[in-house]
Amino acid sequence: MGSVVLSGTLVAGPPQSSSSSFPAGVATYPISNLNGAAGFQRASGIIQRNETFVALTNIGEPGNAVKKATFFYFKCDSPVDLRLTRGDGSGGTVVETAASVHGLFIREFPSGKELTKVELLGTANFEYFVSGNT
């Protein structure tokens, strides 16, 4: 079994003036997985370029690496639209659009509402990582 650990800190504050900041207020937000390390049985990630709306490989389809993802990481160098299909918790599906993603996009999915398909519209160099137990 693998393990996904997301760890870091987002720090936002005023510009520095000489050796100190003014005003002194700085916001610090820890970045981590919702429930600590996320275990997984399967994972996939590739780098490629697309110019049309396409489904990302290795997510959701029979025979692919991850049928139901609980963790999704995506990073791109130009704006793209992502369409996410996930379970609705009752055996059906919900389609969501996260429009104009540019840069980093990370999302975790609860049991019963796992990610089953990701589609991308736009032109960008991108990378992604997806993991889950099935």
Give CATH for domain 34-132: 2.60.120
The mean of the pLDDT values for the chain is 79
Average of per-residue pLDDT across 2-9: 78
User: pLDDT at residue 118 above 80?
Assistant: yes
**What is the per-residue pLDDT across 55-114, written as a single tens digit (0 to 9) for each?**
888 887 766 678 899 999 898 888 889 999 999 999 898 988 777 899 899 999 999 999
Domain limits, the chain: 34-132
Strand partners, 31: 8
Give pLDDT, residue 54. Answer: 83
Which residue, among 42, 130, 124, 121, has the nearest Cα to 86 in the 3D structure? 130
Question: How many Å apart are CA 59 and CA 7, to the nearest integer?
Answer: 24
